[in-house]
Chain A
Amino acid sequence: EAAVTQSPRSKVAVTGGKVTLSCHQTNNHDYMYWYRQDTGHGLRLIHYSYVADSTEKGDIPDGYKASRPSQENFSLILELASLSQTAVYFCASSLRDRATGQLYFGEGSKLTVL
């Protein structure tokens, strides 16, 4: 069973503080993603990665950085957290093959910025 683990599952941060959300996958997948979920907006892609030590911008990258130090790990970094970044964040992974490349999601990280 494919597994994607996110930490922390819940976090309260102060405005202007630094937040790091971590993601670990044991699927041996090449591709990893960070999505943000807000009520009424569905999921929006923040950053994604094809390979270790490389990241790509998604649709809403502003205010976020990503780091992929190894195939298994993908982090999302908020250097200066803002109120508007309160949301649930999901990490996902997938295979390289387009035909079978369904996304496997973690359970989510609920971030509240005060």
Chain B
Amino acid sequence: TQTVSQSDAHVTVFEGDSVELRCNYSYGGSIYLSWYIQHHGHGLQFLLKYYSGNPVVQGVNGFEAEFSKSDSSFHLRKASVHWSDSAVYFCAVSGTNAYKVIFGKGTHLHVLP
């Protein structure tokens, strides 16, 4: 059974700060990991994904994520956040049945001016 856990429901930082949003997964086979962003009142938009190769993947708007098999993690990072980064971020995992994507509960990032 695949599971994905986002331990922080809310994260608050100031504009210009760095941020890390945590994601841990549980799955025994080949795995596909993604991050999505949801601005209030809208659908989810894809940020980045990992399925093989370099464990650090780059996404849009300066986001990156690092895959760690030993820690079963795929944390999302940004070096300097902007107020427009305020949104809910979802980590997602899929495995053998790549079309069955499981989402975490989301982390609400609040960026203060």
Contacts and interface: CB of A to CB of B under 8 A. Distances in A.
Nearest to B104: A42
B90 A43 contact: yes
A42 B105 contact: yes
Interface in A34-55: 35, 40-45, 48, 50
Interface residues of A, number: 27
Interface in A81-101: 90, 92, 94, 98-99, 101
Contact of A108 (B43, B98, B106): B43
Interface in B1-54: 32, 34, 36, 41-46, 49, 51
11 contacts: A31-B99, A42-B105, A48-B99, A103-B34, A103-B46, A103-B92, A105-B43, A105-B45, A106-B43, A107-B42, A108-B42
A10 to B, nearest CB: 11
Nearest to B51: A99
A31 B92 CA distance: 17
B69 interface: no
A92 B41 CA distance: 16
B43 A40 contact: no
A58 interface: yes
B36 A98 contact: no
Contacts of A41: 105
**Nearest 7 pairs between A and B by C-beta?**
A105-B43, A98-B98, A42-B105, A43-B103, A102-B46, A105-B44, A42-B103
